[in-house]
Amino acid sequence: MVELAASDVLTKEVLQWQGLHLFHFTGSSCSQKLRIYAGLKNIDLTLHHINLVKRENQTDWYMGINPRGLVPTLIDDGKVIIESNDIITYLEKKFPAPELIPPDRADEVGDLLHFEDQLHLDLRTITARFFVPTGMLQRSDEQLQQYENAGSGQVNGKPDAHKAAELAFWQEMKNHNGIPDLRAQDAVSAFRDALNAHEENLRGQRYLLGDTLSVLDIAWYIYANRLVSVGYPLTGLHPRVGAWFNGLRQQKLFRDEVKPPLPVKVISAVTRLAHRARRSHIETFIS
């Protein structure tokens, strides 16, 4: 679990905060996952919105809380926990009911969440290529330098390799003036392979881990929603996954937490139309 040491946190005021506080962004996939999880658990959180579009996550103040500049971040009576899956694991121990990580399968769920986390940059790749115009997410040299210099740059008192990976992603995107075709192809293929596996898992069972809703369903619902929103033919390629997704979407909590604001919905629709006109939409990357 990524619980930060006090030396990792430069914005010292949060070390004195009492209660449960969550830094999040409306459109962040990891934030959506955590908000649905907390909603199912009826966990009372004090929410602090960090606007990623305005780069509020790269301010010295927020980078002093989360040295990776990512959301979500949880503060629990001064303890700072980063990374959505680690936050969920932490909260599951603190709030065991209703059970969303079966204790007898905790190690298995941990491995499956780790696999899901490994696809996060692939989801960002798909978002940056197909969901919004490149310019909305692109970082300038100045912004990259600011990100590199901000925060402690360490986790548990050691240099953070994760931050270097973040920098590499944004630098590559800047160098190519967007997402290269090969990276987009790899990302789409990675998700198709994973969804093919889930298609088999859902043969004869209602949810990804069996017949009971678990955190895996929350995590993959968020991924599936983003893929559907960029035009990935989920039901056509993976009919059981499509039925599972549509079933979850019938629940108000699941549906409302991923509902985009109207401006984002319009921008995304225009972006999809532009890609289709250029024959560069996501379906052209499905082999």
Asked, for residue 159, whether it belongs to a domain, the answer is no
Do 64 and 89 belong to one domain?
Answer: yes
pLDDT higher at 119 or 134: 119
Mean pLDDT calculated for residue range 199-204: 96
Do 281 and 196 belong to one domain?
Answer: yes
Mean pLDDT calculated for residue range 74-96: 97
Q: How many domains does the chain have?
A: 2
pLDDT tens digit string along 252-278?
Answer: 999 999 999 999 999 999 999 999 899
Q: Could you identify the residue written with the tokens 């369903």?
A: 217
Asked, for residue 170, whether it belongs to a domain, the answer is no
- CATH value at residue 264: 1.20.1050.10
For the chain, give the mean pLDDT.
95
Asked, for residue 246, whether it belongs to a domain, the answer is yes
Asked, for residue 94, whether it belongs to a domain, the answer is yes
Q: What angle is formed at CA 10 by the lines to CA 88 and CA 2, rounded to 5 degrees?
A: 25
In this predicted structure, what is the pLDDT of residue 218? 98
Inter-axis angle of helices 141-149 and 161-175, nearest 10: 180
In this predicted structure, what is the pLDDT of residue 138? 87
Do 59 and 128 belong to one domain?
Answer: no
Do 121 and 90 belong to one domain?
Answer: no
Q: Tell which of 39, 67, 98 closes a domain.
A: 98
- 135 band by pLDDT with thresholds 50, 70 and 90: confident
Do 118 and 237 belong to one domain?
Answer: yes
Which residue range(s) make up the domain with 239?
111-138+178-285
DSSP-derived letter for residue 3 is B
Give the whole-angstrom CA distance, residue 281 versus residue 51. Answer: 28
In 3D space, the residue among 137, 148, 175, 128 whose CA is nearest the CA of residue 69 turns out to be: 148
Do 94 and 128 belong to one domain?
Answer: no
Q: What percent of the chain has pLDDT over 70?
A: 99
- CATH value at residue 18: 3.40.30.10
Do 120 and 66 belong to one domain?
Answer: no
In this predicted structure, what is the pLDDT of residue 1? 66
Antiparallel, parallel or unpaired: β 46-49 and 79-82:
unpaired
